[in-house]
């Protein structure tokens, strides 16, 4: 079973598996029933997946997992914003939909493997399969896949994980696939460009105004919705002009207060963790830590006794709710969530 999102990567993944002699069936998940003009949930994406399957001469099916998506991804997304956190819904979709719900469906239907177009690799360590970064550093998606249970990695395939994005597009063009030059989307699939995050959250949770204060607690501005504010934010804080740039360094939803400070106030020697899971043996020494899907990793040590990431050099603050992923030699060795 190949999960086809309507993008070029999953299109090429299906083509490569067919070329290797596998029997391939394409499946597209219908996750979001509301309006969508971004991500992988738009009607046009489902249509692109179907047409590519037709080009390749393989079956194409659509599975409706909308209820699971609402319960596991959309509702927690809104709840996290209400609590002053910055969630990553794509990671939760991978955790609960692609590599749990869909994988279980594949097994019930008798498929041997589930394949996707993600840029990541499954490597055999001798002690079991492990998730590793994809070959293209600029497109690697291991960060958003780190939540996959290591025990199911042996049932997964990432056919484009050893390729660069340019190579993927070249293969698609050579096969004449309609997705060969299709642009990528980095947006949350259920947040439309037309209405945006404010309108989406405003329909689901109360949006409350908040005071903006400096490090001494003096009020210097206000925001219309504290639920839309995140650590490191600079714009939209209602601050008077003519001053040095100030950034969000604290969010207190209970008190309805946003604290700002200079750029240097964002630097921190450690980041608190609210959860952590090692993949395999605990690593006591230095690891590379990545804190966003497209961020640069930094050297650190994970102290699970105090539940902190201890940075080897001062690091920018991480918003509560963001995933923190540790690597050794491009292999995922652990992951968790940043806390306050």
Cα separation, 302 vs 308, whole angstroms: 6
Rounded to 5 degrees, what are φ and ψ at 82? -65, -30
93 catalytic? Reply is yes
Per the model's pLDDT, the better-predicted residue between 329 and 44 turns out to be 329
Residue 287 in contact with residue 300, Cβ under 8 Å? yes
Q: Is the pLDDT of residue 7 over 80?
A: yes
User: How many whole angstroms separate alpha carbon 189 and alpha carbon 39?
Assistant: 4
Whether 38 has a pLDDT exceeding 90, the answer reads: no
User: β-pairing, 114-115 with 156-157?
Assistant: parallel
Predicted confidence at residue 32, as pLDDT, reads 81
Marked catalytic residue, from 40, 41, 90, 189? 189
Q: What is the pLDDT of residue 280?
A: 86
What pLDDT, in 10s, does the model give residues 69-91? Answer: 999 999 999 999 999 999 999 99
Q: Which of 41, 90, 93, 291 is catalytic?
A: 93
pLDDT beyond 70 at 44 = yes
Is the confidence at residue 178, as pLDDT, over 80? yes
**Is 41 a catalytic site residue?**
no
Question: What local confidence, expressed as pLDDT, does residue 40 receive?
Answer: 57
pLDDT digits (tens, 9 = 90+) for 225-255: 999 999 999 988 878 766 788 999 999 999 9
37 pLDDT exceeds 60?
Answer: no
**Averaged over 86-106, what is the pLDDT?**
96
Mean pLDDT, the chain, whole residue set: 93
Judged against a pLDDT cut of 80, whether residue 190 lies above it is answered with yes
User: For residue range 209-225, what is the model confidence (pLDDT) as tens digits?
Assistant: 999 999 999 999 999 99
Q: Note if the pTM is more than 0.75.
A: yes
Q: What is the C-alpha separation between 175 and 172, in angstroms, rounded?
A: 5
Q: Give the pLDDT score at 45.
A: 85
Beta-bridge partner residues of 273: 338
Strands lying side by side in the sheet with 156-157: 60-64, 26-30, 2-3, 114-115, 156-157
Domains and CATH numbers, the chain: 2-174 (3.40.50.620), 207-261 (2.30.30.280), 265-338 (2.40.30.10)
pLDDT at 189: 82
10 Å CB burial of residue 313 (0-12, 13-18, 19+) is exposed
């Amino acid at each position: 079973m190949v999960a086809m999102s309507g993008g070029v990567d999953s299109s090429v993944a299906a083509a490569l598996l067919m070329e290797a002699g596998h029997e391939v069936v394409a499946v597209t998940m219908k996750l979001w029933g509301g309006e969508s003009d971004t991500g992988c949930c738009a009607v046009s994406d489902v249509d692109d997946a179907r047409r590519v399957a037709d080009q390749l001469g393989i079956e194409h099916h659509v599975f409706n997992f909308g209820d699971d998506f609402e319960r596991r991804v959309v509702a927690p997304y809104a709840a996290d914003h209400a609590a002053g956190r910055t969630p990553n819904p794509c990671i939760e979709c991978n955790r609960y939909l692609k590599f749990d719900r869909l994988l279980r469906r594949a097994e019930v239907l008798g498929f041997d493997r589930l394949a996707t177009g993600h840029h990541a690799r499954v490597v055999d360590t001798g002690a079991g399969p492990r998730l590793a970064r994809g070959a293209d550093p600029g497109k690697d998606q291991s960060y958003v896949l780190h939540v996959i249970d290591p025990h199911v990695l042996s049932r997964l395939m990432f056919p484009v994980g050893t390729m660069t994005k340019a190579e993927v597009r070249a293969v698609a063009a050579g096969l004449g696939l309609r997705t060969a030059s299709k642009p990528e989307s980095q947006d949350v699939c259920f947040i439309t460009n037309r209405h945006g995050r404010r309108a989406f959250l405003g329909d689901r949770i109360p949006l409350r105004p908040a005071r903006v204060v400096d490090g001494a607690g003096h009020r210097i501005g206000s925001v219309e919705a504290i639920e839309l504010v995140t650590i490191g934010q600079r714009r939209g804080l209602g601050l008077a002009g003519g001053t040095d740039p100030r950034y969000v360094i604290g969010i207190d939803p209970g008190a309805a207060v946003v604290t700002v400070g200079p750029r240097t106030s964002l630097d921190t020697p450690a980041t608190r963790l609210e959860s952590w899971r090692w993949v395999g043996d605990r690593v006591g020494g230095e690891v590379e830590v990545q804190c966003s899907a497209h961020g640069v990793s930094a050297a650190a040590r994970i102290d699970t006794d105090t539940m902190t990431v201890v940075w080897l050099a001062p690091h920018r603050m991480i918003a509560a709710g963001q995933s923190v992923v540790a690597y050794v030699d491009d292999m995922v060795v652990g992951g968790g969530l940043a806390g306050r």
